[in-house]
Amino acid sequence: MDYQVYHLQNGIRVLHKPSPSNISHSCIIINAGSRDESPGKDGLAHFIEHLLFKQTEKRNTSQILNRLELVGGDLNAYTTKEYTCIHASFLKPHLERSLNLFEDIVFHSVFPKEEMKKEKEVILDEISSYQDQPDEAINDDFEDLLFEGDPLGRSILGTPTTVQSFTKRDIVDFHQANYRTDEIVIGICGDYDFKKIIRLSNKLFGEILPNLPQRTREKIEAYSPKNLVFTKPINQTHCVIGNRAYSMHHKHKTAFLLLNNLLGGTGMSSRLNLEIREKYGIAYTIESNYTPMSDTGIFSIYFGTDSEKTEKTLKLVEKELKKLREQKLGPVQLRQSKDKFIGQIALGEENRMGLLISMSKSLLDYSRVDSLEEIFSKINAVSDSQVLEIANEMFHPNLMSTLIFNPKDAYPPLSHH
């Protein structure tokens, strides 16, 4: 993977991925997310991400929002448990305009009270709309079940109570404690000379003072599996089954990504989709996900179905997991699942913004970016016995937690677990 990295003296790193296109992308990733919030400040990282678009020392909201849109560009942002990311797409001549805007909103936002008040209302709306989507809400609640009492379990959006309570002091303190300059990566994908990127980086970000506070993320409490059922005003049953999983630094990470993809990953040919949707037609959506984080991970299987089919769906899911625990993948199956996964990753390269963000995160997490060849050789090195070992470790029935949302008149009552 051809890329170059430039280190600024304040610790900020700039990554350039050359691309012979007239359309460019840029992102700024900060290693600060909802898990870095103090108790009672749930949702603060996400609130700050919203406020970065509101007012700086030299721009008001409309000047910020129009800065790229007036030249046809696109600006957006998101917050996760561990990161805050702002990203932009624009035509090639507007790189400086984009980076200048990043520098302004990340380092010179002023968080005015009236904007805070408005944005609280926006986020309260966002929380309500999230709760109206049981497939979204159940995943949030499931993470809370896996990491009960831990910052990792809390919703990224926060709660109405915490959001209402935020003060400007909270924002400034969080920004100061977590926007560390040596934990910030600026990514650029476009048709530029690297010398130009170095020059621009120094011009726009070189004057920022180093901010290197000590920060340690809390150790996670021990995990004990739980099975919970809630009744909700919904039309179908939603269910999540899963477990805590390997961190991004674990030797089994690549093999588990492969196994998850085979079980319930993207595409219609995953085992869960073929068995439950195609063969029995009993769940419109069934998928599995594995999200590795810096010191832990999340594995989950989600499905939605009619309440009278929940029991059968759960049994079929358990049957698939049992098969993976008891039978090694045959050489043909293993080869096919590797080819499928490698092909999907290669196709994903077409989404250049997605690629740029994942390269920038990789630089943040590992201080390097693997080439496609290195990624593929890691996948190709996965053995049938490694997959079997992971299936037994991750899919052990005694380690799986289950969360079910039932409609009020669900019939019959679930006897599962």
Cβ-Cβ contacts under 8 Å for 215 (sequence gap 6 or more): 36, 177, 178, 180
Phi, psi angles (nearest 5°) of residue 150: -105, 150
Same domain, yes or no: 27 and 157? yes
pLDDT tens-digit series, residues 60-83? 999 999 999 999 999 999 999 999
pLDDT of residue 411: 58
> How many domains does one find in the chain?
2
pLDDT of residue 203: 98
Same domain, yes or no: 107 and 241? no
Same domain, yes or no: 375 and 242? yes
Same domain, yes or no: 151 and 260? no
Give residue 326's domain range. Answer: 227-407
Same domain, yes or no: 174 and 269? no
Same domain, yes or no: 194 and 287? no
pLDDT of residue 205: 98
DSSP secondary structure letters along 4-16: EEEE-TTS-EEEE
Same domain, yes or no: 196 and 232? no
pLDDT of residue 267: 87
pLDDT of residue 218: 86
Q: Residue 281's closest CA among 250, 297, 305, 245?
A: 305
pLDDT of residue 216: 87
Cβ-Cβ contacts under 8 Å for 356 (sequence gap 6 or more): 15, 17, 25, 26, 27, 87, 187, 188, 189
pLDDT of residue 417: 46
Same domain, yes or no: 254 and 345? yes
| CATH code where residue 283 lies | 3.30.830.10
Q: Are 323 and 333 in contact (CB under 8 A)?
A: no
- Is residue 189 included in any domain, yes or no? yes
CA distance 408 to 48: 37
Q: Are 253 and 292 in contact (CB under 8 A)?
A: yes
Those residues of the chain that have pLDDT short of 50 are: 413, 415, 417
pLDDT of residue 1: 66
Same domain, yes or no: 70 and 200? yes
CA distance 208 to 294: 27
- Written as one letter, the residue type at 45 is A
pLDDT of residue 363: 98
Same domain, yes or no: 260 and 193? no
pLDDT tens-digit series, residues 243-262? 999 999 999 999 999 999 99
Same domain, yes or no: 151 and 18? yes
